[in-house]
């Protein structure tokens, strides 16, 4: 069965430090992969997506993610986080007519 795993429930980083949020998926075919961000009490905003081509994809707000088929991973990175990046981040894979979601990683920024 298709699944998405985000192994880190919370991550705390200092402002200005680099960030990597992990995402592993289980999917039989070539996946369509997404990262969404949710600020408190808000809807979800698409950060970036992968469905073919270059395995390193650039998104909004300075985020990027790398698709590694051999590791079944799609980790999200940012070289230098800002306090405004504090939010919850969700990884998802598109399976037919629905998204399979990870449980989310809450990013906490230390001043």
Binding site for another protein (CB under 8 A): 32, 34, 36, 41-46, 49, 51, 90, 94, 97-99, 101-104
Taking the complex as a whole, how short is the minimal distance between the CB of residue 23 and another protein, in angstroms? 12
> Pairing relation of β-strands 56-58 and 64-68?
antiparallel
User: Which C-beta is closer to another protein: that of 17 or that of 103?
Assistant: 103
Taking the complex as a whole, how short is the minimal distance between the CB of residue 85 and another protein, in angstroms? 19
Taking the complex as a whole, how short is the minimal distance between the CB of residue 101 and another protein, in angstroms? 5
User: Which C-beta is closer to another protein: that of 40 or that of 111?
Assistant: 40
User: Which C-beta is closer to another protein: that of 18 or that of 26?
Assistant: 26
Taking the complex as a whole, how short is the minimal distance between the CB of residue 18 and another protein, in angstroms? 25
**Token match 């969700």: residue?**
90
Locate the DSSP E strands across 1-111: 3-5, 10-14, 19-21, 24-26, 32-38, 44-50, 56-58, 64-68, 73-78, 87-95, 98-101, 105-110
Q: What does the CA dihedral 36, 48, 30, 26 come to, rounded to 10 degrees?
A: -30
């Amino acid at each position: 069965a298709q699944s998405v795993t985000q192994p880190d429930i919370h991550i705390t980083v200092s402002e200005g430090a680099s960030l990597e949020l992990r995402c592993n998926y289980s999917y039989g075919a070539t996946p369509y992969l997404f990262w969404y961000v949710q600020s408190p009490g808000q809807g979800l905003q698409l950060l970036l997506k992968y469905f073919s081509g270059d395995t390193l994809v650039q998104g909004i707000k300075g985020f990027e993610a790398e698709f590694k088929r051999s590791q079944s991973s799609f980790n999200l990175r940012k070289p230098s986080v800002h306090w405004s990046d504090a939010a919850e981040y969700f990884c998802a894979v598109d399976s037919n007519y629905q998204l399979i979601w990870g449980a989310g990683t809450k990013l906490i920024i230390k001043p």
